Amino acid sequence: MHVVYIGPNKVLIGVEHGKEAKLTAEAKQKVADIAEKHGLWYEGDGGDIAPNKKIFGSKGAYDGSWDAKFAKQVKGYPSEFLYTLFTNTAINKQQDRLTSPRKSIFASIMDAQDAVGYFKDRNFDASTLRKFLSDCGSVGIDFLAMSQNKATAENVKHFLKAGERLMWPTNWKEYPNKAGKQAQKVEKKRVEFLLSAPNGVYIVGKDHLKQIH
């Protein structure tokens, strides 16, 4: 299931991050027509633009990120929005941005907000980061304590892997861990936004599209 129509002029397209959406020729044409008339919006920072641009041909031109539109509706910097720290680490390469052996992991995160934070137009403070890391902890795993270690490549890798494993386990849809529940809070708000958004074409992560459907 890669396409969800919400009325005749609104469609959500599920894609696997970094890959082309799998649509029939008929669906491509229908989606392209909606995009031309009502707009086309990508997810996040646009990592899925390149592999999916050809789907819409000359009829579709990306209007921007629906996440950016959603972000404008969120006040302040709720700590759960730091869930991006532990999300898609292989694709987003958080390890590369955080590795800095002269700093602690905590300090490195504070200095790399543009790379690991959700909001691109505002910064989080130390208390927000402390709350997020504390809220993500599990039995035997204290992220706040781990964040005081030096940001060596090995320490950062261990830190991120532990966070991503708890936030996105194989049964992530059940959000069994505290870390996952932080992501769940954000996903609920993003889904509510998508369902109430104006007509148009919206690119959405394939797995998360299942939650909407």
Name the pLDDT band for 211 (thresholds 50, 70, 90). low
What tokens appear for 58 in the block?
Answer: 């000359």
The burial of 53, by beta-carbon neighbours within 10 Å (0-12 exposed, 13-18 middle, 19 or more buried), is given as middle
The model's pLDDT over 8-53, given as tens digits with 9 standing for 90+, comes to 999 998 887 777 777 888 888 888 889 889 988 888 776 667 666 6
- Judge whether residue 61 has pLDDT over 70: no
Band of pLDDT at residue 64, cut at 50, 70 and 90: confident
| Confidence band of 133 (pLDDT split at 50, 70, 90) | very high
Mean pLDDT, residues 94-111: 97
Helix axes 49-56, 25-38, angle to 10 degrees: 90
- Between 197 and 2, the more confident residue is 197
The overall average pLDDT reported for the chain is 88
- Check residue 135 and give its pLDDT: 97
Cα(35)–Cα(146) distance, integer angstroms: 46
Torsion of CA 206, 207, 211, 213, to 10 degrees: 40
HSE, CB side, 13 Å, CA atoms: give it for residue 25.
Answer: 0
Does residue 60 have a pLDDT over 60? no
Confirm if 30 and 201 have CB atoms less than 8 A apart: no
- For 134-184, the pLDDT digits (tens) are 999 998 999 999 999 999 999 999 999 999 999 999 998 899 999 999 999
